[in-house]
Chains A and B, each alone.
Chain A
Amino acid sequence: MSEVYEEKDKYLVYRIGDELYASRLLDFVEVIEYTKPKIVPNMSHCFSGMINLRGLIIGVVDLRKKLDITEEFSGKPSMLICDTEVGPIGAIIDKVEYVVPFLQSEIQDLKLERKMDKTYLKGFFQYQENLITVIEIKSFVSNFDENTHSQENVA
C-alpha cells in the first residue's frame, strides 16, 4: 500500500475534544510538549500567548478555544508547530494520534454539518472506524482572530 502513497499524502491525526482531525503532515514543522504560553496583550481570546522554541518566539493558538470545546481534557496536551505564511504558529490540541497516508481521492467531500468555515474544512475520511475531519491547518491557525461560530452563521 505504502508504494502508492507519496509523502504529501501523509496526514497527522490528532484529537481535540471528542473529535479526530487530520492535517497534512507537511504543514507541520514539529510536535512538542505543552509549555505554558506567556500572555500577549490585545490579542483575540483563542490566542494563548507565545513560547520560546529554542530561541524562536512563536505565537500559540488554542484550538480547543477556537472550536469552543469546553469539556476538560485529562491528559497532557501537545502543541503542533505549523509553518504558516505569517510565520510559525503553535496550536494547542489534546493528543496526537497517528500518521496515516491517504490519497486526495480517498477524502470524501463535505457532507456533514460542522461548526467550521468551509475554507478550512477539506473533507472527511474513514480510518479504523473513526471519521476524521481534514482541516487546512495553516490558514485555520493563522486566522485565529475569526470566530468560527460567527463564520458558520454567516455561511
Chain B
Amino acid sequence: MIDFQLHLPNSLEDAFALLEQYGDDARLLSGGTALILQMKQRFAQPGHVIGLRRLPGLGDIGETADGGVRIGALCSQRRVETSPLVAGRLPLVAQAYRQVATPRIRSMATVGGGLAHGDPNQDPPPALIALGAAAILSSAPDGNGNNGGQRILPVEELFLDYFDTDVRPGEIITGLVIPPAPAGSGAAYLKFLPRTADDYATVSAAAVITRDADGHCREARLVLGSVGLTPIRATAAEDLLRGQPLTDATIRAAAATVPAAVDPLEDHRGSVDYKREMAQVFARRAIEQAAGSAAG
C-alpha cells in the first residue's frame, strides 16, 4: 500500500473541510472492506484518507413519518440485516443485506460505504432501487447562497457507470431513506450463487409487485444486478406486467424482455449469453415470488 495521511474528523463539518482541502487526493473511509482492498492492490492511491467512524449521529436506524425507514450511513450492513424495525417494515432490505459476502464483512461494511463504492455486483442496490429508496448526500455551505445541507437522490440515479456514482465533490453520503412498501405489494430478492455462498452474484433480481383486488398487477418494479455497469431497471418487463393479470403467461412474457435489457460482462462466473439467460430465469422467479406474496 502506498503511504498516505489518515484523518479522523470528529464532525461532519471537519470532514467537509478536509474534503475541500484535499479534493481529488482524498478518499473517504468507513468500513474499509472496499477501499483498503483497492489501496492494497494500488487501484486507489489517495494521498489522504478521511476516516468517518468518529462522525456522530450516522449510525442509527429509525422510522420516517410516512412509515418508511431511515438508515444512517455508518450503520453496519449487519445491523441492517438484524434490525427488528427493518425486518418488520421492509423484509426485502434485510434479506438483501443478509446476502452480502460473510457475517464478518457485513459487520465491517457500512450502508453508506456500500452505496459509494458503486460496484454493480452488490446485493442491496437492486432491492433498494425496486423499493424506491433514496440516498441522502450532505455537503457544506459553498458561500454562493448554497447553505449546504442535503440532496436527496434516488438510488436508481446514484450509479452512473462501473464503480462510478453521482456523489459530487464535497458531498458525503450520510444516510439512506426507504419508503414503506406499497399496500398489497410482495417483494423478492434472488441471488444466483452457483459457486460459493460468499461470492458475488452471477446474476441477481429484485422485484416488487403490487396486486389489485382482482389479481391484476397494479405496479411492478424489477431490477437486475451483476448484469451491467450499474444495476439495471427492467422497464420493458415492468410495462408488460402493469395492468395485466399475474398469470404464468404474462410473467414469462415480461421476463422474456430481460435478456435485451441487460448488458453483462463475461467473467469466470459465465459468458455474456449465459448471464443474459440466467437474468431472464431469475427475473421470472423473482416476479413469481413477489406476485405470490402480494396480498391484493
| A, B assembled together | no
User: What residues make up the interface of A, taking CB atoms closer than 8 Å to B?
Assistant: none
